[in-house]
Amino acid sequence: MTIRSNKKTKSEVSLQDPIGVDKEGNEISLLDILGTENDEVLEEVELKIQVKKLYQKMAKVLKSRERTVIELRYGLANGGSKTQREIAKLLGISRSYVSRIEKRAIKKLSKAFNCSTEPIIEDDE
């Protein structure tokens, strides 16, 4: 089992790992080459990891309509967020129903992120 888990980490690279030496013999890391503040790079990488986790949780936990509402509401699909009224018009449902779907979806996502066990996948509507 340890061999399998080690296989996954073999391809991982840390931003602080030395990747070579400069003319003066000092070790150079990937962060040095990127030429930005260390915190900026780390924050951007962390954000991308969190976004990836969000999409994975959304795919596992939410029904298709819930996923659609969340993507439209927060601009995850195309970058432009929409109001509940606009989403209701697009989906042909009431604004209050969009609100209930949104609240339910956020509650599910929150529970999925806070629980250590994987949530049960529900069938699509």
- Provide the residue range defining the domain that includes 111: 64-115
| 3-state helix vs strand vs coil in the chain, percent to 5 | 60, 5, 35
Residue 100 lies in a domain: yes
Helix/strand/coil for 21: strand
B/e letters for 89-104, b = 16+ CB within 10 Å, e = fewer, are eeeeeeeeebeebbee
Residue 71 lies in a domain: yes
Residue 54 lies in a domain: no
Stretch among 11-20, 66-75, 78-87, 100-109 having the lowest mean pLDDT: 11-20
- Among 108, 96, 95, residue whose Cα is nearest residue 66: 108
Residue 73 lies in a domain: yes
CATH number at residue 76: 1.10.10.10
B/e letters for 33-59, b = 16+ CB within 10 Å, e = fewer, are eeeeeeeeeeeeeeeeeeeeebeebbe
Q: What is the pLDDT of residues 3-30, one digit of tens each?
A: 555 555 566 777 777 777 777 888 877 7
How many independent structural domains does the chain possess?
1
Residue 106 lies in a domain: yes
Rounded to two decimals, the pTM is 0.58
